[in-house]
């Protein structure tokens, strides 16, 4: 079989460090993966259960209620206006990230990804038969016309927020070349020192979403990683094309999950409560890292503390594992992460406090 040539799954390489961390007498503090640990809000659980009796196939486009709820949430939470018909639910955001270059026909083209980036951007390009170019600017592209440009703000892994001026420049450059721009906005609700802004916001798009897509996830803001709940929205023509392909491919969000998403996108209270939990954990862990000799860079938004001790990432990972703390090396996200580690805020209050105590020696 001629399967696509893909890199090793990054987290498999953490097995030895994970084993070391688990030997700690008080147990491991796993800060390596951004998986939710807090309970799914009851309003969402109830909505999931309320649709569990429905036997028929769900619609690929999602229920009208779901699409209207997504449009309403974007308007309330992020001052973004979209037509509900231009909302398309996805089976989590990772699925869309991995398959979007294929769905957009990027074969033999160039997919531009951030220099420090979620590994699935690279994987998606490879699955499509495209070439990856890591670049945070446009000058490196020269005369080349890429097939797709990925943005990620707030960034995974760094937590950096792209300024309005940069986003406008990317949009202008891409539109002059008819290149689609896709913004991964899974952490948009988690601004700390600065407020992230969507690619679709009128200050960026001038109210015109042509050539623009924004990817959203409910995994972090609503603790729905296990539900695989996300959506994409933006350019109505691009969304319509994705819808047609996904219909043929059977890429459909289950009806109970669509019901749960509708509840999550309608209720803002649980989002604020979850953000407060993450903020409290950040306020414990970040100063503890600094006192332990780390420099925390960027990290003004999102779920991660991008940290360095000015040494190879694997050395830092090993040192933390000796304390029973497991983190992800920056090398997972690109060559520029060679001396950094990504430390997640997704652990319970007790485990975050335990990590802070261990860092204090």
From CA 117, how far away is CA 132, in angstroms rounded?
12
At 150-209, the pLDDT tens digits run: 999 999 999 999 999 999 999 999 999 999 999 999 999 999 999 999 999 999 999 999
From CA 131, how far away is CA 111, in angstroms rounded?
6
Q: Estimate to the nearest angstrom the gap between the alpha carbon of 358 and the chain centroid.
A: 29
* pLDDT surpasses 80 at 313: yes
- Shared-domain flag, residues 262 and 174: yes
The token pair that represents 27 in the structure block? 């147990």
pTM of the model: 0.94
- Shared-domain flag, residues 219 and 71: yes
Strand extents, DSSP E, the chain: 29-30, 87-91, 110-113, 131-134, 148-152, 181-184, 212-217, 229-234, 295-297, 304-308, 325-326, 328-329, 341-344
- Shared-domain flag, residues 231 and 293: no
- Shared-domain flag, residues 213 and 104: yes
In terms of DSSP H, where are the helices of 59-218?
Answer: 64-78, 92-103, 119-128, 164-175, 202-205
- Residue 17 falls inside a structural domain: yes
- Shared-domain flag, residues 101 and 189: yes
The token pair that represents 204 in the structure block? 């960026």
- Shared-domain flag, residues 214 and 172: yes
At 80-125, the pLDDT tens digits run: 999 999 999 999 999 999 999 999 999 999 999 999 999 999 999 9
- Shared-domain flag, residues 29 and 127: no
- Shared-domain flag, residues 222 and 131: yes
- Shared-domain flag, residues 82 and 155: yes
Q: Is 344 helix (H, G, I), strand (E, B) or coil?
A: strand
From CA 2, how far away is CA 110, in angstroms rounded?
22
User: Can you give the residue range of the structural domain that contains 192?
Assistant: 55-267
Angle at alpha carbon of residue 314, lines to 311 and 315, rounded to 5°: 50
- Shared-domain flag, residues 255 and 310: no
- Shared-domain flag, residues 263 and 281: no
Residue recorded with tokens 């200050």: 203
| pLDDT of 140 | 65
At 121-156, the pLDDT tens digits run: 999 999 999 999 999 877 766 777 999 999 999 999
**Which of 208, 232, 267 is the last residue before a domain boundary?**
267
């Amino acid at each position: 079989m001629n399967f696509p040539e893909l890199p090793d799954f990054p987290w498999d390489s953490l097995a030895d460090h994970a084993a070391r961390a688990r030997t700690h007498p008080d147990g491991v503090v796993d800060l390596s993966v951004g998986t939710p640990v807090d309970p799914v809000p009851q309003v969402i659980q109830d909505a999931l259960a309320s649709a569990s009796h429905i036997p028929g196939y769900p619609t690929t486009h999602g229920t009208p209620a779901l699409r209207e709820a997504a449009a309403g949430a974007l308007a309330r939470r992020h001052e973004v206006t979209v037509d509900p018909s231009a909302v398309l639910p996805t089976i989590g955001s990772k699925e869309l990230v991995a398959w979007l270059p294929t769905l957009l026909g990027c074969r033999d083209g160039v997919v531009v990804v951030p220099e420090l980036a979620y590994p699935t951007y690279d994987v998606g390009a490879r699955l499509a038969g495209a070439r990856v170019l890591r670049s945070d600017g446009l000058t490196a592209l020269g005369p080349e016309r890429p097939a797709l440009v990925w943005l990620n703000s707030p960034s995974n892994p760094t937590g950096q927020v792209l300024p309005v001026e940069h986003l406008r420049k990317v949009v202008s450059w891409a539109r002059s070349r008819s290149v689609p721009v896709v913004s991964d906005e899974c952490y948009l609700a988690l601004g700390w020192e600065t407020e992230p802004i969507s690619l679709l916001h009128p200050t960026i798009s001038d109210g015109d979403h042509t050539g623009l897509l924004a990817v959203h996830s409910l995994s972090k803001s609503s603790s729905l990683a296990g539900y695989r709940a996300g959506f994409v929205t933006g350019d109505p023509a691009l969304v319509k094309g994705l819808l047609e392909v996904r219909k043929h491919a059977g890429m459909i969000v289950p009806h109970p999950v669509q019901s749960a998403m509708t509840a999550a996108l309608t209720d803002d209270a649980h989002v604020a409560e979850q953000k407060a939990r993450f903020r409290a954990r950040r306020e414990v862990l970040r100063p503890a890292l600094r006192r332990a000799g780390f420099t925390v860079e960027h990290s003004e938004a999102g779920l991660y503390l991008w940290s360095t001790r000015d040494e190879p990432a694997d050395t830092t990972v090993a040192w933390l594992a000796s304390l029973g703390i497991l983190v992800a090396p920056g090398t997972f996200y690109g060559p520029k992460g060679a001396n950094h580690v990504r430390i997640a805020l997704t652990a319970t209050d007790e485990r975050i406090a335990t990590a802070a105590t261990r860092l204090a020696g």
